Amino acid sequence: MNNTIYKIIFIFSFLLMTSSIGFSELVEKTVLVEEQLNQIELKVQSVEKFFVQEVKDERKVAFNVKVLQILLNEEHLMGVDWEAIVSDYKKVNDVLSLGTISQEDYVVLLEALDTVGEIHTILETKTITKNTQSANVTIDTIFAHFLEKEEERRSNEIIDLNLYPEIGDAQNIAIHTQYQLDASAQVAEAVVNVQNESTVILGSIFKKALVSYTKKFPLLGDIPFLGVAFRNQRERERITEVIIFLTPKIVIE
């Protein structure tokens, strides 16, 4: 029942209780009562708006950040076909692939990625920011080179992410993203709309990596101890794809 119906009932009750007074006085009192009701309604709406705004101001967005590096096999050197997998697919600066995926499909995707290559988890972290406030995520990433010698195995590079969430209606979050691989790289910017606890995917970040492999003489190279003389350890360059998963969750404290 809306406020207008409540007003009608109230005024009608008032008319019944004041039926003994004159008509002009009755009209005057009716107008006065209606004005008072309008003022009360405005005050109630103001209080409601205040409390709703207070709740909105307390909302935060927590981001779970996961970074994977896939050593692509020969059949998938072009990387993951994100356009066929994610929703709201878009290409940013003709390089970065951007899209969203539901919580259920995210679990399935992680299990299926090993079909394109060897998966390495580079980083798992969490950051939290207030609604409509920026959060900088600087990922001091250690990318694998898949070498036998430990001192040559990895190299540090920086991924800089800027996230600006705006919580909308129906648990929808608009995330303004800025991405930069290093200080000399071009900044990629995009806005993606995602449901609460769904995942944003930033893919098609390709990097070269050095991989150790062994070249040996058939049979002779497999002989224990003596076979070392017939084996040669070498390195070659391979293509890897780095994937960033951002999963936002609305938090009210």
- 38-51 pLDDT, tens digit per residue, is 777 766 665 555 45
**Two structure tokens written together for 106:** 């995210």
**Two structure tokens written together for 237:** 């360059």
The predicted-structure confidence for 133-176, as pLDDT tens digits, reads as follows 999 887 765 555 555 444 444 555 677 889 999 999 878 999 99
* Residue 158, pLDDT score: 75
User: Does the pTM of the predicted model rise above 0.85?
Assistant: no
- Would you give the distance in Å from CA 190 to the centre of its chain? 12
Asked if residue 70 lies in contact with residue 117, where contact means CB atoms within 8 angstroms, the answer is yes
